Structure 1
Amino acid sequence: MTVSYTTELVTHARAFAEVAPDWERLYRRCGAATPFQNHAWLHSWWLSYGRPGRLRLVLVREGGELVAAAPLMLRRAPVPTLVPLGGPISDYGDVLIDDERADGAAAVLAEALSDAARTALIDFREVRPGGAAEHVYDRWSGPRHRMRDSLCLELPAVPMDGLVSRLPSGTAQRARAKLRRLRSLGVERHVVAPERVDSALQRLIELHRLQWQGRKVTSEHLQARFCEHLVRSVGPMVRSGDAVVTEFRLDGDVVAVDLTLQSRRLTGGYLYGAHPRLRERKADVAAMLLDACTQHAGSGGQDTLSLLRGNEPYKHHWRPEPVANQRLLLARRRTAPLMSAVVGHVAARRRGKELLSSFRERTDDGGPVSGPVVAADRYRVRDHPSKRPHTFLSNRDSIQSPGSSGEQTVELNGTGSVVGAGSAAGQPVRPESTDR
């Protein structure tokens, strides 16, 4: 039996809003989906951060039923690129594909994306391993390239006792003492009802601002548009079971608010605000939040408790597994040079970070500082806007052309050019290659 698919390119916000019911059903049928592919999250993000004329939603239907969707927007600089909606405030980017129609729907989506891209590169950032975008990547017929992206830390979705039992005996004893301290202080935890979510999120932002007062903070979290986005998106997500807002009270006052996001397979602590009074009372805020998060993780069948992006030392106390997101670049033959430019930029940025790290080590040790390293510090590239660490290409990369069975090992030099077999020294990386 021949299956008939139709495709649609949505470029207007009103049509984006109208597709919500179909999107919601597809979201439930895509096991790889994360909370950041929820329609409420993406549509709200577009209202706060989108620019007129840039929306590019690629939809695939089978008999009128939505079976695949790619939520993208056009970014014109530094090179024309289609990128996922959600931006730096979203920890994962991906497409949605119906699990039961993965093969056919992914192939049609790949073809529709190729048509939509035209003269633009497609750049899927922050794709979680096993993400639906991998189906598109595998079926892409043009030039493509895979790189490592941000590092996330993940724990099993088990109760708090299970997480503590994974720790060395001494660390486990200290963790239990911290939890007992929270109980002795009388910290009370309450899940916020849907009708109170808006005011609770306002309090979260106020506490977040207070806890970071006088310290370096992600500035976007303090912007009005970010707060508006949270209030607009999280309310519907709470009602549908895709988000939980928790208040923590001490002596009757709300001293902390936590936002946890959920999907079929994943629970992630997204943002919190905590009053300095908690630390003054010797309360371990990280343990308090993780304890609350474990109450929700696994309740809906999730198998992963994600600490999301960031490699902060306090997260490692719980012995999480580091998992690197992926960056999937897709191009047509005419846009292959754009992909080469991006790959070269990433390699050069990685090299710059290495030089900067070397410069700082030499400075700390009191050793001599060389000229090129000083230059690297002066012209260093800013970190990701979310202020969270990234991981980049390794020094040695395996590259493979789509449809080819042989691998070719190459080495990227400091400028992002290729040195090695099959390429003259200093030539740009072959755009039709795949970085394994």
Structure 2
Amino acid sequence: MTTAVRSDAAGPVAEQPRYETVVLRDARALEALAGEWNALQERSPGATPFQCHAWLTSWWHSYGRPGRLRLVTVRRDGRLIALAPCYRDGTVLRPLGAEITDFHDVLLDDADPDEAAARLALALAAELRGPLARLDLPEVRADAAIHRVLAHWPRAARKLPASLVQHLPGVPMDELLTRLPGRTAQRTKVKLRKLAVAGIDVRLVPPWEVPEAVDRMLALHALQWADRGATPEHMRGRFASHLRAAATGMAATERAQLREYRLDGRLIACDLMLQARSMVALYVYGVHPEARERVDIAGMLFGESLAHAVSTGRTELSLLRGDEPYKQRWRPDPAHNERLLLGSAPAVVVTAGLARAQERAKEFARERMPWLRQARGRVRVLRSRLRRAA
């Protein structure tokens, strides 16, 4: 209902904005919101590629379960100003994207982010019923919009340490090399000169060819990790299904680019780069093992991504989660995600306590039982070989 407020006896009537909060549970709403969702992502402070419509809708179609979808929306005079894409898991409200998504967040209109955050906080709190109810966001960036929601949160909240993430500045390669120690920089320059004369053909895959290119990339990804124990989820059909649809939709809206690299006419590598307003992110890549003996793979992939960041004015090349050796060579800037728990006091306190106990157990295993990690690695390699044999 619209409420009119008269400023004075002779002055005009100023209408208050009308706000509407709706929780959508029908999966058909995912498609209906596409245009508004993408527009809100462009206006939302700190939004990453993982908040775009194509990424999260594709995830739901591959991983979601009927009846559990919860899209918490806030509108101002009919305009979408806040969105929390979630699903219900028992008493827990979790973000779409789950474990294959590096950054979880909500979307807020930057025209009035505090009002949007306050309204969204109340709407989310209303969805959490019962003493064990909570909202659990496992991977939250320091500049995420959800922090604005937290400022208006009416119930209990806890922050816990989460994954290490790393990034490079969006600068030309020559400038990036000045960050490296002298010998490392010199060796890298030599490798880049060899790369420049190797005759590598770099092809940007058009959106209509993305599904087949994703399959080629995942085949190379599986090959490069064949004897090193790949991430199990990356080998599953549901991940491939999600990535095909997500990359296709994101490429069509200029939120992703998939590149193929050929040497002497032979496909040697592919990578999927996601992008938002100020960020490009290397999400996944595949490399033929034999190519590592001929070219500097990291230099090739990072060089293309940096060049794209510079040409489009984006200031960050995110290397996402993990501290793999190929990242460390470039001296990336480290940061840490946080796990954010919001809900009833009992749910938040108990969950935070269990999380800390699990982390202490992991630290004990790393320090006192290093053989356990090696055993897990051998199991992953064995499983990978069995899948290939099947």
CA distance in 1, matches of 2:367, 2:274: 38
Is 1:139 the counterpart of 2:148? The answer is no
Structure 2 equivalent of residue 111 of structure 1: 122
Gaps of 5+ in 1: 364-376, 386-436
Report SS of the residue matched to 1:93.
coil
Name the CA shift for 1:187/1:36 in 2 (closer, same or farther; >3 Å): same
Whether the 8 Å CA contact 1:68–1:106 is kept in 2: the answer is yes
Structure 1 equivalent of residue 331 of structure 2: 319
Is 1:176 the counterpart of 2:184? The answer is no
Opposite residue 20 of structure 1, the aligned amino acid is A
Is 1:358 the counterpart of 2:367? The answer is yes
Whether the 8 Å CA contact 2:125–2:154 is kept in 1: the answer is no
Structure 2 equivalent of residue 63 of structure 1: 77
Report SS of the residue matched to 1:299.
helix
> How much has 1:299 moved relative to structure 2?
3.4
CA distance in 1, matches of 2:266, 2:254: 26
CA distance in 1, matches of 2:162, 2:334: 12
Is 1:292 the counterpart of 2:301? The answer is no
User: Which piece of structure 1 moves more, 262-271 or 157-166?
Assistant: 157-166
CA distance in 1, matches of 2:307, 2:209: 20
Query: Residues 353-407 of structure 1: CA distance to partner in whole angstroms, max 9, x if unpaired?
Result: 222233147x8xxxxxxxxxxxxx79xx99xx9xxxxxxxxxxxxxxxxxxxxxx
Query: TM-score of the superposition, structure 1-length normalised?
Result: 0.80
- The 5-angstrom pairing of residues 138-177 of structure 1 reads 138-177=151-190
CA distance in 2, matches of 1:127, 1:306: 14
Whether the 8 Å CA contact 1:31–1:265 is kept in 2: the answer is no
Opposite residue 219 of structure 1, the aligned amino acid is P
Opposite residue 184 of structure 1, the aligned amino acid is V
> How much has 1:301 moved relative to structure 2?
3.1
Work out which of the residue numbers 238, 244, 248 in structure 1 matches 2:261: 248
- The 5-angstrom pairing of residues 207-246 of structure 1 reads 207-246=220-259
Is 1:307 the counterpart of 2:319? The answer is yes
CA distance in 2, matches of 1:65, 1:299: 33
CA distance in 2, matches of 1:316, 1:284: 15
User: Which piece of structure 1 moves more, 256-265 or 340-349?
Assistant: 340-349
- The 5-angstrom pairing of residues 37-436 of structure 1 reads 37-76=51-90, 80-119=91-130, 120-281=133-294, 283-331=295-343, 335-360=344-369
CA distance in 2, matches of 1:299, 1:85: 31
> How much has 1:104 moved relative to structure 2?
0.7
CA distance in 1, matches of 2:363, 2:212: 44
Gaps of 5+ in 2: 1-13, 381-390
Opposite residue 221 of structure 2, the aligned amino acid is H
Bigger helix share? 2
> How much has 1:298 moved relative to structure 2?
3.7
CA distance in 2, matches of 1:299, 1:139: 38
% same residue: 45
CA distance in 2, matches of 1:40, 1:211: 28
CA distance in 2, matches of 1:236, 1:351: 41
CA distance in 2, matches of 1:256, 1:27: 31
Whether the 8 Å CA contact 2:40–2:80 is kept in 1: the answer is yes
> How much has 1:184 moved relative to structure 2?
3.1
Query: Residues 217-251 of structure 1: CA distance to partner in whole angstroms, max 9, x if unpaired?
Result: 01111111111111111112112111011110011
> How much has 1:296 moved relative to structure 2?
1.6
Query: TM-score of the superposition, structure 2-length normalised?
Result: 0.89
Structure 2 equivalent of residue 405 of structure 1: none
Q: Which runs of 4+ in 1 moved over 4 A?
A: none
Opposite residue 287 of structure 1, the aligned amino acid is G
Whether the 8 Å CA contact 1:137–1:328 is kept in 2: the answer is no
> How much has 1:294 moved relative to structure 2?
0.7
> How much has 1:273 moved relative to structure 2?
0.5
CA distance in 2, matches of 1:83, 1:96: 15
> How much has 1:183 moved relative to structure 2?
2.4
Report the count of equivalent residues.
361
- The 5-angstrom pairing of residues 29-44 of structure 1 reads 29-44=43-58
Whether the 8 Å CA contact 1:264–1:300 is kept in 2: the answer is no
Query: Residues 258-301 of structure 1: CA distance to partner in whole angstroms, max 9, x if unpaired?
Result: 000000021110000011120232x2211111111112224333
